[in-house]
């Protein structure tokens, strides 16, 4: 005869077993969706390859992926007319993006915090920003060329101006949107100016700052490519533009792929940094650890 204890034990085991199967099922479902996301680019490339090989699409405008890939390998090994390998173009563009990004976003972040926090600073800068922000930043490139010449500086500064505005605006908005009751609570619990800033204002604004940084990086890539279209002999933008001029379509695609990869790399990198700095802002993973 089974004792109550044994019956309970059996019931518990049954519950655990059911729970486990449910979890395994969830695990497989998750893995299935991840696999779908993983293979989707390859499916697209395969379709592309097939429709070009069967000449449904014109291979002159849409060279098959395998051909583009071959071209990319050649470009890594053999320098172009200007003596640059593909990786040189990438390095040159990266340097312009990163320097411009830093030069723009750091002052943008500082001024954004000041504008958000001090009404007087906001009152002073608001009209200036409102008037200058709507100018498409790429349209400033000719002016920058006049001021700085054809060298690196004009490109870097144009990138910087775009990043500056985006980070400034989202940072300032982040500060002004802080829930007022959080500030009241912090002050009630004895937070004075500097502590209030480092322990409340800054962490509360961090998500907005990251939104600004992400937008800035995207725009930085765009501006670098556009700036490299004219009067330069290096960079991804140059690569794409010069390939068009000689109708080297495969090289053009190579440039596009590189730019897409850089964008993806930057975005996911920033996202990782954001998750590391703001573990509290993420999705709810579990209620208990």
The H or E element containing residue 201 is none
Cα dist. 40→26, 44, 258, 268 in Å?
21, 6, 19, 18
Instruction: Measure the CA–CA gap between 42 and 35, rounded to whole angstroms.
Output: 11
**Does residue 204 touch other proteins according to CB under 8 A?**
yes
- Closest separation in Å from C-beta 19 to other proteins: 20
Binder among 19, 195, 272, 275 for other proteins (CB under 8 A): 195
**Does residue 184 touch other proteins according to CB under 8 A?**
yes
Q: For residue 288, what is the DSSP state?
A: -
Radius of gyration of the chain (CA): 27
- Closest separation in Å from C-beta 183 to other proteins: 9
- Tell me, rounded to whole angstroms, the distance of Cα 215 from its chain centroid: 7
Binder among 32, 61, 189, 276 for other proteins (CB under 8 A): 189
Structure tokens at 193: 């100016």
Phi, psi of 97 (to 5 degrees): -65, -50
Whether 62 and 48 have beta carbons less than 8 Å apart is answered as yes
Give the range of 6-14, 50-58, 85-93, 194-202 binding other proteins by CB under 8 A. 194-202
Find all residues with CB under 8 Å of 166, minimum gap 6, and list them: 108, 212, 215, 216, 219
Binder among 190, 193, 245, 247 for other proteins (CB under 8 A): 190
Binder among 14, 126, 187, 271 for other proteins (CB under 8 A): 187
Give the range of 40-48, 61-69, 175-183, 231-239 binding other proteins by CB under 8 A. 175-183
- Closest separation in Å from C-beta 198 to other proteins: 11
Cβ proximity to other proteins, 83 vs 192, nearer residue: 192
Instruction: Measure the CA–CA gap between 94 and 151, rounded to whole angstroms.
Output: 15
- Closest separation in Å from C-beta 277 to other proteins: 10
**Does residue 188 touch other proteins according to CB under 8 A?**
yes
User: Contact positions toward other proteins, by CB under 8 A?
Assistant: 179, 181-182, 184-192, 195, 199-200, 203-204, 206, 278-281, 284, 286-289
């Amino acid at each position: 005869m089974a004792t109550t204890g044994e019956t309970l034990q059996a019931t518990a085991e049954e519950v655990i077993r059911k729970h486990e199967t449910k979890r395994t099922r969830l695990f497989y479902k998750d893995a299935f969706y991840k696999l779908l996301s993983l293979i989707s680019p390859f499916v697209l490339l395969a379709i592309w390859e097939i429709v070009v090989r069967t000449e449904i699409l014109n291979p002159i405008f849409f060279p098959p992926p395998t051909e583009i890939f071959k071209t990319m390998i050649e470009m890594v090994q053999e320098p172009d007319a200007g003596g640059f390998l593909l990786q040189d173009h990438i390095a040159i563009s990266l340097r312009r993006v990163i320097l411009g990004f830093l030069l723009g976003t750091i002052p943008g972040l500082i001024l954004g915090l000041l504008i958000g926090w001090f009404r007087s600073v906001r009152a002073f800068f608001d009209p200036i920003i409102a008037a200058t922000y709507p100018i498409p930043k790429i349209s400033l490139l000719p002016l920058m060329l006049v001021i700085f010449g054809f060298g690196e500086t004009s490109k870097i500064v144009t990138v910087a101006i775009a990043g500056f505005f985006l980070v400034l605006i989202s940072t300032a908005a982040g500060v002004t949107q802080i829930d007022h009751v959080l500030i009241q609570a912090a002050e009630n619990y004895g937070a004075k100016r500097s502590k209030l800033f480092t322990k409340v204002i800054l962490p509360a604004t961090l998500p907005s700052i990251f939104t600004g940084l992400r937008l800035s990086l995207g725009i930085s890539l765009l501006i670098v490519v556009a700036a490299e279209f004219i009067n330069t002999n290096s960079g991804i933008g140059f690569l794409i533009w010069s390939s068009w001029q000689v109708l080297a379509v495969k090289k053009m695609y190579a440039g596009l792929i590189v730019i897409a990869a850089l964008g993806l790399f930057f975005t996911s990198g920033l996202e990782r940094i954001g998750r590391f700095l703001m573990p509290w802002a993420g999705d709810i993973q579990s209620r208990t650890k």
